Structure formats: C-alpha cells, structure tokens
Structure 1
Amino acid sequence: MRDDDGVLLETERLRLRRFTTNDVDHLVELDSDPEVMRFLTGGRPTPMAIVRDEQLPRILAQYDRHPGLGKWAAVDRAAGDFLGWFALDPSDDGTEAELGYRLRRSAWGSGLATEGSRALVRHAFAAVGARRVWAETMAVNARSRAVMAKAGLRYVRTFHLTFDDPIPGTEHGEVEYELRREDWPRVRQEWDAALRAR
C-alpha cells in the first residue's frame, strides 16, 4: 500500500507521502494564507501551537489505525515542493472515507486538486476496499464542489449547521457529495476511457 519512504502513491505531477514532525512549518504556512482558509475559518490562520501540538500528532497517529487512510502531504514530483495535503479520513470502522484537500494558492487552477482527489478515490476503492467516499464543503464553495464532481462524487444534500461564529456564506448551508462502491466501476470506466482518448 505504501513503500518504505512513506509514499502512498504518485500521479503524473504529485507524490502523496506520510507527514512527519518536520512538516510543522509547511502546515503553518499553508494555513496562514487567508484565501486558503476562506471557507474554513473565514481567513483566520491556524496557530503554530495548534498545528504542532494537536493537528500533526493526530495526523501521525492515524496511519497505524487505518492503513492507507489519513492525511497525506502533497509534493510536486518535479520540483519536490510542498503543495498542501489530500485526505481520506476514515469513519470509525474504516469502511468509509471522507475526501478532502488543502492546497497552496500557487497550485490552484492547474487541475492538481482533481488529479490528487481522483487518485485517492481510486485508492479508496481499489486498495482500501471502502464502501463509500464522501466529501463536504460550504454550498458557496463552487471550486471545491467542481472538484468533488470531477472526482466522481455526486451531490447528495444541502444541510445547515449552527456555528457560534459563522463565516460569510454559512447561511447558504453545507453540501455533501458521495461515491458508493456500487457506482465506482462506472466512474472508473469513464476515467479510463478518457485517458485512452488523450
């Protein structure tokens, strides 16, 4: 499922590898961009102490609990630069996975979010044996919704949550997308046919 240097998988342009304790600065820098955090915290950065003492230890502990699932550092295969992360966060029993990603602004608009998301969807069904991959975002986050659709997930519902400190757009709700195991063969065939046609 992964090789000895912690690499989960590679795509044409991305290498997805395990996080290490050396990635604290990468994560802090990623979360310090107000545009990256716009639909998550309203643009507020994640403090260094939260990343170092809470988020990163939780990410590292996940690898052994559900092999093949968790958050993976996304690295540019050509240049070796840290670009952000992709995630397949497991349900409690590990049979479902929540797809997610967070990329530096310099990586936006190049198809990398779709490339990494499709690779993880394929991995979830082919290697992990997930029965469902799902994702959520704010209803107003049109870019992430487009990536979910390109990754083979379909719209399921819009729902509303209550927040103590809502950010702009919260009033429009959250959306859920999913891809179930029984629909995966059709999606895989569509992707494979598109690759052959290139």
Structure 2
Amino acid sequence: MANFLETGRLVLRAFTPVDTDHLIDPDDDPEVMRFINGGRPTSREAVETRVLPRLLHDHPCWGTRGYWAAQERTSGAFLGRFEFRPLDEHSPAVVELGYRPNRAAGGGHGYATEGSRALIHKGFTDLEVERVTANTMAVNTRSRRVMEKSGLSFVRNFTGDWPEAIEGPEHGEVEYGLTRTEWEQR
C-alpha cells in the first residue's frame, strides 16, 4: 500500500500486521499512556486482538484506513500513530483527529503538529471532510497545545465516563474543532 501522506519530515502510511512491535513500544510506555489508561502497559495479546484490527479497518466512505503509522522521512524510524477517521462509517463529513507519538518523538519535536496539520489539509482538500474534532483530558496540556497549533479551537468542556481510573478526570475533558469554512478563512 502506498504512503497516505508525506510532509517535510514525516511519512504517514497504512498499518500492516507486521507493525505489532511498533505498536507495543509506545503502548508499553507509562508516560505515553498516562492520559489514555493511567499509564498501564497494553499487552501484546491486546495489541494483536483489539488494537491492530481497529487500525487495519478500511472505512467504506473512503475505501481506506483511519489510522496511520508515522515514520521519520529520512531514517524510516517509527514515531507513533495518527488517527484521522470518520465518525460515521459511511460519511466523511466529520472526522476525529488523534495522535500517539512514542516517547522519542514526543515532547517538543513538532511531529504531532506537523502530521495533524497535514491530515487536516488533506481532509479538507481531498477527502470531503467538513469538520475535524479532537478531544483529550483537560489536564493534558501537551495534547491541547498540539490541537491549538494545528488550527483547532476550543469547543467545550465535558465529563466522560472513564472505564479505568486515570489521574485528572475531575477536571473533565475538552473538545476542540475546526470546520472547513474556518480553515478556508485562515
């Protein structure tokens, strides 16, 4: 499968079954998983039976994936993953943006912002996207900053029902968004 998207420093490509080890590394890192499940590692079995099948899913409205492996363009090093998937399987109108860099790629390198901006551009220019949405815990300031630097604006605070105890849920979650019209006006 060809690369989905390339930027100055990144290649975003479809995941394949041989990416299991790439997925285990960040999902086994307590710092990476802190705002996802409280820092608990994801088992190999869970990656193989739950995570990877979701990442390999093709969405009917696009005929392609909604999750992308991020690699450094020059070295090919695995940097993490991006989510840019339609919320409705049969309509590309609203997509959810997400990113999960591994520790080496996180924190100040700008990969999450670079990949997010490129996905947003592709969504509005090539994929018939009308609105991009993203959410995180209110206390996840790094993720919120990436959303803001990617052009998304704060929409609302809300309280989600977390199945697992995570530090900081008393502050709730935040949603950010960007419409095609807002993006075109920038």
Q: Place the TM-score, normalised by the shorter chain, in its bin.
A: over 0.9
User: Residues 38-187 of structure 1: matches in 2 within 5 Å?
Assistant: 38-62=34-58, 66-67=62-63, 69-92=65-88, 93-108=91-106, 109-187=108-186
Q: In the aligned structure 1, how far is the partner of 2:49 from the partner of 2:123?
A: 28
Q: In the aligned structure 2, how far is the partner of 1:38 from the partner of 1:131?
A: 31
User: Higher Cα Rg: structure 1 or 2?
Assistant: 1
How far did 1:107 drift?
1.1
Look up the equivalent residue of 2:131 and give its one-letter code: R
How far did 1:137 drift?
0.2
Look up the equivalent residue of 1:105 and give its one-letter code: R
Describe the superposition over 1:30-59 as per-residue Cα deviations: whole angstroms up to 9, x where unpaired: 100000000001100111111111221122
Contact 1:68 1:128 in 2 (8 A): no
Q: In the aligned structure 2, how far is the partner of 1:65 from the partner of 1:119?
A: 20
Describe the superposition over 1:143-194 as per-residue Cα deviations: whole angstroms up to 9, x where unpaired: 100100111100000001233432110100000000011111123xxxxxxx
Structure 1 unaligned runs (5+)?
188-198
Q: In the aligned structure 2, how far is the partner of 1:14 from the partner of 1:22?
A: 20
Structure with higher helix content:
1
**C-alpha root-mean-square deviation of aligned residues, in Å?**
1.4
Name which of structure 1's ranges 128-137 and 44-53 shifts more when overlaid on structure 2.
44-53
SS at match of 1:37: helix
Q: In the aligned structure 1, how far is the partner of 2:67 from the partner of 2:35?
A: 19
Percent identical pairs in the alignment equals 50
Contact 1:9 1:16 in 2 (8 A): yes
TM-score between the two structures when normalised by the length of structure 2: 0.93
Contact 1:8 1:68 in 2 (8 A): no
Q: In the aligned structure 1, how far is the partner of 2:10 from the partner of 2:57?
A: 23
Contact 2:59 2:86 in 1 (8 A): no
Q: Does 1:30 align with 2:29?
A: no
Equivalenced residue count is 183
TM-score between the two structures when normalised by the length of structure 1: 0.88
- Comparing both chains, which one has the higher relative contact order based on Cα–Cα distances under 8 Å and sequence gaps of 6 or more? 2
How far did 1:17 drift?
0.3
Look up the equivalent residue of 1:52 and give its one-letter code: E
1:43 to 1:136, Cα distance in 2 relative to 1, 3 A: same
